[in-house]
Amino acid sequence: MHDSARWLSLDELEQSVSKTDFPYEANPLTGVNTTDAHAVARAIDTETRSVILHVPFAGWLLKAVGRDTDVMDGHLVYLRVLRIRLSSLLRRCPEPPRVKNELQTTDCSRSKPSCTSSDIRLHPEWECVTHDLNIGFITDPLADVFCHQPGYLNADEFYLLNDRFQRTYDAGQDIDPAATFRADLTFFRGIRDMPPASLASSITNKDLRCFQVSYALMLSEADGEWGRLLGRSWSHRYKDTIECLRKDLRYRDLLVQLAMCLYKQGNFHGATAIAEGLRPAACAPDTFQVEWTMIPSELRRIVEYECNFRACRDHLRDMRKRGKPALPFIFPIFREYQLSVESLRRHEPSSPQYEACLRRATSNTDDLLLSRSYPGKTEVVERIGSVFQFCIWF
């Protein structure tokens, strides 16, 4: 844990935010087929997303805590001007009723930063309204993080989020256009303020709830959402690990201790994410001062890529046989389950190969449901088990 902290005054931060120019003369629909609602919505979202970085991160944060700045006012004015121009263009486009109807039902942008197209899409007469456009996808999470600190901000937290903000919206990088800014600082604050063992227990409880929700989604009609939920959970922790190392190398040893605590608690969902986050740091030892040999052998073993993380899967299977509770690193196990089911369907039910594939698929099912080994967490998992067994047979 580290007690030292630097603080930023909101007054000084406000003075540091300078004005910027917005591309008022740009026409985002140049070259766009205005009869294609998907193309129109994509062009609008691309333009609104491209000007996000015209406002410094400090401007967004100040807006989130209730302080207006000239640059944010300019941003909102630009979006209103953009909406007026787009409304005018859409009114003149061929077959406006059809395009309007498609815009109302199109969800071409999987992310929330659709500052303009969503408003045009939903407005019945293509007209502009005067209230502020939707910027809550950035300001609301920031308000949740910083609203309790009206006068000063922790400098490390500010610069960490600033770096994350730049990486999310930097148009010059090959980044998923559907990516949204994430303001969650739970992991960073935990590493900074909590003993590794206490933080590991908190993470394991959170991950257990995530598995419960994911398994419940598996029973719903949300196709693949259960896997995406677990994937986001794992990916966020992996990225948080790298961010902590970028912020301060003194967190290196604490991250290793945290991963070992998770390993000992049987949380391989969390332990593998942190170990994988330490891997790229070990590939750049001059920058991060992390050698792969500094990582305990137990952690290195469970993230070995060979044979679809075979060592990790074997270790989890051994824990299952010994009755030890565990949260699995589910993605290689699920891939192995899929391969087992595919192999099963290629053989006749009376063949020895079929029996061998059936045993393997059944074992994979038990591996996928390792979280049921935690007391009092079995009902939904048992229902999921029946779903997996159904998939094996059909």
Range of 60-64, 103-107, 174-178, 346-350 with top mean pLDDT: 60-64
- Does 365 map to a domain? yes
Encoded tokens for 393: 């047979």
The structure tokens 């029973």 sit at 219
Same domain, 150 and 13: yes
* Percentage of the chain exceeding pLDDT 90: 27
- Does 180 map to a domain? no
Same domain, 241 and 338: no
CA distance 297 to 260: 10
Please tell me the predicted confidence (pLDDT) of residue 388. 45
Write phi, then psi, for 267 (nearest 5 degrees). -95, 85
Angle at 323 between CA 268 and CA 218, to 5 degrees: 55
Range in 91-95, 335-339, 366-370 with the lowest mean pLDDT: 91-95
Among residues 283, 302, 321, which one ends one of the domains? 302
Q: Average of pLDDT values for 351-366?
A: 86
Among residues 302, 337, 364, which one ends one of the domains? 302
Encoded tokens for 335: 């891939």
CA distance 133 to 118: 10
Same domain, 225 and 360: no
* Residue 126: exposure state from Cβ atoms within 10 A (0-12, 13-18, ≥19): middle
Concatenated DSSP letters for 24-55? TT--TTTT--TT-HHHHHHHHHHHHHHTGGGS
- Does 1 map to a domain? no
Contact indicator for 272, 303 with CB cutoff of 8 Å: yes
Q: Is 139's pLDDT higher than 70? A: yes
Please tell me the predicted confidence (pLDDT) of residue 132. 44
At residue 375 the predicted structure's pLDDT band, cuts being 50, 70 and 90, is low
Write phi, then psi, for 282 (nearest 5 degrees). -70, -25
Same domain, 321 and 297: no
Q: What is the pLDDT of residues 149-167, one digit of tens each?
A: 667 888 999 999 999 999 8
Same domain, 297 and 321: no
Residue 295 is classified by DSSP as: S
Please tell me the predicted confidence (pLDDT) of residue 103. 62
Q: Is 212's pLDDT higher than 80? A: yes
CA 92 from centre of chain: 39
- Listed in sequence order, the residues at least 6 apart from 138 whose beta carbon sits closer than 8 Å to its beta carbon are 52, 60, 64, 113, 181
- In the chain, the number of structural domains is 3
At residue 109 the predicted structure's pLDDT band, cuts being 50, 70 and 90, is very low
- Does 178 map to a domain? no
* Percentage of the chain exceeding pLDDT 70: 74
* Count, residues in the chain: 394
Same domain, 129 and 165: yes
Range of 119-123, 178-182, 220-224, 258-262 with top mean pLDDT: 258-262
More confident residue, 219 or 119: 219
Same domain, 196 and 165: no
Please tell me the predicted confidence (pLDDT) of residue 256. 95
Q: Which amino acid would we find at residue 359?
A: R
Please tell me the predicted confidence (pLDDT) of residue 267. 94
CA distance 22 to 51: 8
Range in 23-27, 68-72, 99-103, 326-330 with the lowest mean pLDDT: 99-103
Please tell me the predicted confidence (pLDDT) of residue 112. 45
Q: Which amino acid would we find at residue 298?
A: E
* Residue 342: exposure state from Cβ atoms within 10 A (0-12, 13-18, ≥19): exposed
- Listed in sequence order, the residues at least 6 apart from 322 whose beta carbon sits closer than 8 Å to its beta carbon are none
Q: How many CA atoms lie within 13 A of 210 on its CB side?
A: 21
Please tell me the predicted confidence (pLDDT) of residue 345. 84
Same domain, 163 and 59: yes
Residue 296 is classified by DSSP as: -
**CA torsion through residues 195, 198, 200, 202, sign:** negative
Q: Average of pLDDT values for 132-161?
A: 83
Q: What is the pLDDT of residues 240-270, one digit of tens each?
A: 999 999 888 889 999 999 999 999 999 999 9
Please tell me the predicted confidence (pLDDT) of residue 378. 42
Same domain, 259 and 363: no
Among residues 302, 329, 351, which one ends one of the domains? 302
- Does 174 map to a domain? no
CA distance 221 to 340: 24
Please tell me the predicted confidence (pLDDT) of residue 160. 94
Helix (H, G, I), strand (E, B) or coil at 18: coil
Residue 345 is classified by DSSP as: T
Q: What is the pLDDT of residues 296-346, one digit of tens each?
A: 999 999 999 988 899 999 998 898 888 888 899 999 988 988 888 888 888
CA distance 202 to 361: 33
Q: Is 172's pLDDT higher than 80? A: no
At residue 136 the predicted structure's pLDDT band, cuts being 50, 70 and 90, is confident
Write phi, then psi, for 248 (nearest 5 degrees). -165, 125
Residue 57 is classified by DSSP as: H
- Does 123 map to a domain? yes
CA distance 336 to 334: 5
Q: What is the pTM of this model?
A: 0.80
What domain range includes position 78? Answer: 7-169
At residue 27 the predicted structure's pLDDT band, cuts being 50, 70 and 90, is confident
- Does 175 map to a domain? no
Same domain, 130 and 35: yes
Please tell me the predicted confidence (pLDDT) of residue 80. 82
Please tell me the predicted confidence (pLDDT) of residue 232. 93
Same domain, 345 and 238: no
Q: What is the pLDDT of residues 179-208, one digit of tens each?
A: 778 999 999 999 999 999 999 999 999 999
Range of 2-16, 155-169, 204-218, 348-362 with top mean pLDDT: 155-169
- Does 247 map to a domain? yes
Same domain, 52 and 136: yes
Concatenated DSSP letters for 107-147? ----SS--TTHHHHHH-TTS----SPP--HHHHHHHHHHHT
Q: Within 10 A of 370 (CB to CB), how many other CB atoms are there? A: 25
Range in 186-200, 214-228, 352-366, 376-390 with the lowest mean pLDDT: 376-390
